[in-house]
Amino acid sequence: MNLEEYKGVYVFAQQVDNVLNSIAFELIGKGKDLAEALGTEVTAVLVGSDVKGLADELAEYGADKVIVVDDPELKDYRTEPYAHALASVIKEFKPEIFLVGATAIGRDLGPRVSARIHTGLTADCTQLEIGDFPINPIPGKEQKHNQLLMTRPAFGGNTIATIACPDFRPQMATVRPGVMQKRERKAGAKANVIEFNPGFTPDNKYVEILKVVKAVSDTVDIMDAKILVSGGRGVGSAENFKILDDLAAVLGATVSCSRAVVDAGWKPKDLQVGQTGKTVRPNVYFAIGISGAIQHLAGMEESDIIIAINKDESAPIFDVADYGIVGDLNKIVPALTEKLKAELAAK
Amino acid sequence: MKIVVCIKQVPDTKGGVKFNPDGTLDRAAMMTIMNPDDKAGLEAALRLKDQYGAEVTVITMGLPKAEDVLREAMAMGADKGILVTDRVLGGADTWATSQTLAGAIRNLEYDLIITGRQAIDGDTAQVGPQISEHLGIPVISYAQKIEIDGDSVIVERQFDDRYHVLKAKMPCLITALAELNPPRYMTPGGIFDACDAELTVWGRANLVDVEDSNLGLKGSPTQIAKASDKVRKGQGEKINKDVTESVDYIVEKLKVRHVI
């Protein structure tokens, strides 16, 4: 493999029902950082049926080029034709980096593609940067520059590992949704579109879709929520969760809770965060009236931003909180809701 | 019908994590369990066996002590157990692991291969789809329900906001969610038999159509640059002010961090 032939940062622009997923813009955003470090461009790879109209939106978020693979076989996501599309793009265009969202689609597609083209794939990355491998020089071992260093949590979040893929191209990663920043949208940007169709011939690997069933439930799984407003024993009663519901409504957030709240019968088990509940990693986690037992921390401490409100200054939740507010939640939470309403209305 | 179930012995991450000096996991030093998603996959296979009649073979790659999970699987009702173990297979990433398992499975007849969605140690969810790629068969990931229909399998496949009902011709590989089925308990008779059962042990020489350059640490495209115990998030800022100042403080932080 001649590594020098491989150029450019490529991202898979995931769409479902011809609507682009936010992860596509997040990957373009991160891709721009990496491309700037390498002095190259970001190319979005848009795969589907009748999707060409989405290309400009990708340009608006910063894609320098958009490769469109458009074919009726690609209407609904299926592993084989999508894997064929991406593997063919990689063989034809030879990118040095290929990023895919760590979504239910990307975590299926990524491994199939990486196995087909024989390269490494690092799963669920939370940080990507360009650097040297090995990170520190080792006598007798070549230190390669401009490598993609991919950082991910492992072992139930007990450890952090940084992975490199020095001898194969492209360097592939799936990236956890909601972690990377989108660039500001530049309305009116036009995509530089390259149409590419490798041909799709159904074989034994093509599965048949008998039915597509969309979820009818409108409750968001707390594991998928971007913002969680989580309450603990300090909230005081099932009725008093109303003040958390109001705050959540303003922020488009979801309400979750600690074990004490479930044990008290104030909330159902599927809203419980913690070692015996669910592990959550939202962008923002409000811990309201939660003292922060170690079992609770294990389920939420990887949240990007933790805001704790508690009247007990020595509560352990303050040890992991980015922003800790000592005070009475019954006064602060409703006041915060009103202030946010005013702020958001002014926008 | 013949079903192969891939299972993995994983460290019980509740017991803490230990590393070798090279940054790979020191598996020998940790308590182990059968990976939960794999156990759900095994249960799915055993239910298909109950319903349609099938021979269920469990296969694992690991250290010699990984035979414990094979015996546990047989005590639950699996018919055969195969341990793939060899010094040259150590330090494998998902590429090398899937090459190894595919090389072992090529010795077997199978209609269905079931793996867990992901293991609780690596959390990659890669090995199942990669095995299917090496074997040239379809994959259906994230299965929440499995039925057999003649020479095909019908599977409910979970996505973020929907599920697809998919039909694939066998042979096919399915990755199972832990929610698929609550696993059955081992039976006393099963435990008794499993203690005495012959396990098949394979090494490098038994792998079919796999090159040395695709095995073990040397055959792994991904390499660890750095591994560390997770640094506990340090304490951030803490304020103790009146209600208005507290609220202004939170709103200011939400703005700075681009939340609002």
Q: What ipTM describes this predicted complex?
A: 0.86
Q: What is the mean pLDDT of residues A130-144?
A: 94
Task: Let me know if residue B245 belongs to a domain.
Answer: no
For residue range B105-119, list pLDDT tens digits in order. 999 999 999 999 988
Say what the pLDDT of residue B38 is: 95
- CA-to-CA separations, B5 to A105, B110, B173, in angstroms, rounded: 23, 10, 10
Say what the pLDDT of residue B24 is: 64
Query: For the ranges A97-101, B174-178, B227-231, which has the lowest average pLDDT?
Result: B227-231
The last residue of one of the domains, among A145, A171, A195, is A195
Of the pLDDT bands very low, low, confident and very high (cuts 50, 70, 90), residue A347 is confident
| Nearest-by-CA chain A residue for B18 | A159
Cα separation, B127 vs B116, in Å, equals 9
Of the pLDDT bands very low, low, confident and very high (cuts 50, 70, 90), residue A219 is low
Length of chain A: 347
Task: Let me know if residue A217 belongs to a domain.
Answer: no
The answer on A257 and A176 residing in a single domain is no
Of the pLDDT bands very low, low, confident and very high (cuts 50, 70, 90), residue B220 is very high
The answer on A16 and A165 residing in a single domain is yes
Q: Do A120 and B124 touch (CB under 8 A)?
A: no
Query: Above pLDDT 70, what percent of chain B?
Result: 92
CATH code, domain carrying A87: 3.40.50.620
Q: What is A268-283 written as a DSSP string?
A: -GGGBBSTTSB----S
Query: For the ranges A58-72, A142-156, B135-149, which has the lowest average pLDDT?
Result: A142-156
Cβ under 8 Å to B: A residues 241-300: 251, 283-284
Task: Let me know if residue A202 belongs to a domain.
Answer: no
| Nearest-by-CA chain B residue for A324 | B238
Say what the pLDDT of residue B231 is: 59
Q: Are B100 and B82 in contact (CB under 8 A)?
A: no
B162 touches chain A (CB under 8 A): yes
Examine the pLDDT at B227 and tell me if it is beyond 90.
no
The answer on A115 and A176 residing in a single domain is yes
The answer on A177 and A304 residing in a single domain is no
Task: Let me know if residue B87 belongs to a domain.
Answer: yes
CATH code, domain carrying B78: 3.40.50.620
Task: Let me know if residue B24 belongs to a domain.
Answer: yes
Q: What is the mean pLDDT of residues B193-204?
A: 92
* Closest C-alpha to B110, from B202, B5, B4, B209: B4
SS (H, E, C) chain B: CEEEEECCEEECHHHCCCECCCCCECHHHCCEEECHHHHHHHHHHHHHHHHHCCEEEEEEECCHHHHHHHHHHHHHCCCEEEEECCHHHCCCCHHHHHHHHHHHHCCCCCCEEEEECCCCCCCCCCHHHHHHHHHCCCEEEEEEEEEEECCEEEEEEECCCEEEEEEEECCEEEEECCCCCCCCCCCHHHHHHHHHCCCEEECHHHCCCCCHHHCCCCCCCCEEEEEEECCCCCCCEEECCCHHHHHHHHHHHHHHCCCC
Say what the pLDDT of residue A280 is: 86
Cα separation, A287 vs A189, in Å, equals 41
Say what the pLDDT of residue B182 is: 78
Task: Let me know if residue B252 belongs to a domain.
Answer: no
A155 touches chain B (CB under 8 A): yes
The answer on A186 and A246 residing in a single domain is no
The answer on A8 and A112 residing in a single domain is yes
Task: Let me know if residue A289 belongs to a domain.
Answer: yes
Task: Let me know if residue B257 belongs to a domain.
Answer: no
In the numeric block, the tokens 């369990």 are attached to B33
For residue range A168-205, list pLDDT tens digits in order. 999 999 998 877 889 999 999 999 999 999 999 999 99
Of the pLDDT bands very low, low, confident and very high (cuts 50, 70, 90), residue A278 is confident
Say what the pLDDT of residue B234 is: 65
The answer on A168 and A235 residing in a single domain is no
Contacts of A181 in chain B (CB under 8 A): 258
The answer on A341 and A250 residing in a single domain is yes
Chain mean position to CA B39: 9
Task: Let me know if residue B235 belongs to a domain.
Answer: no
Contacts of B221 in chain A (CB under 8 A): 118-120, 165, 167-168
Q: Do A79 and B23 touch (CB under 8 A)?
A: no
Examine the pLDDT at A215 and tell me if it is beyond 70.
no
Domain around A133: 3-195
The pTM for the full model equals: 0.81
Q: What is the mean pLDDT of residues B213-221?
A: 96
Task: Let me know if residue B226 belongs to a domain.
Answer: no
The answer on A59 and A144 residing in a single domain is yes
| Nearest-by-CA chain B residue for A161 | B227
Query: Above pLDDT 90, what percent of chain A?
Result: 76
Q: Do A108 and B142 touch (CB under 8 A)?
A: yes
Q: Are A52 and A68 in contact (CB under 8 A)?
A: yes
User: How many domains does chain B contain in total?
Assistant: 1
Task: Let me know if residue B223 belongs to a domain.
Answer: no
* Closest C-alpha to A190, from A61, A95, A9, A36: A61
Task: Let me know if residue A276 belongs to a domain.
Answer: yes
For residue range B147-168, list pLDDT tens digits in order. 999 999 999 998 877 889 999 9
Q: What is the mean pLDDT of residues B120-135?
A: 93
Q: Are A293 and A316 in contact (CB under 8 A)?
A: yes
The alpha-carbon gap from A276 to the nearest alpha carbon of chain B, in Å, equals: 11
| Nearest-by-CA chain A residue for B124 | A123
Say what the pLDDT of residue A169 is: 98
Task: Let me know if residue A200 belongs to a domain.
Answer: no
The answer on A58 and A155 residing in a single domain is yes
CATH code, domain carrying A327: 3.40.50.1220
Q: Which two tokens stand for residue A160?
A: 């952090």
Contacts of A67 (CB under 8 A, 6+ apart): A10, A43, A44, A45, A46, A89, A93, A193, A194, A195, A196
The answer on A129 and A19 residing in a single domain is yes
User: How many domains does chain A contain in total?
Assistant: 2
Domain around B28: 2-214
Three-state DSSP state, A217:
coil
For residue range B162-198, list pLDDT tens digits in order. 889 999 999 999 999 876 777 888 888 888 888 888 8
Say what the pLDDT of residue A277 is: 67
Q: Which of B127, B162, B237 sits opposite A323 (nearest CB)?
A: B237
Of the pLDDT bands very low, low, confident and very high (cuts 50, 70, 90), residue B22 is low
The answer on A187 and A242 residing in a single domain is no
- The rounded radius of gyration (Å) of the Cα atoms in chain B is 22
Examine the pLDDT at B235 and tell me if it is beyond 80.
no
Task: Let me know if residue A208 belongs to a domain.
Answer: no
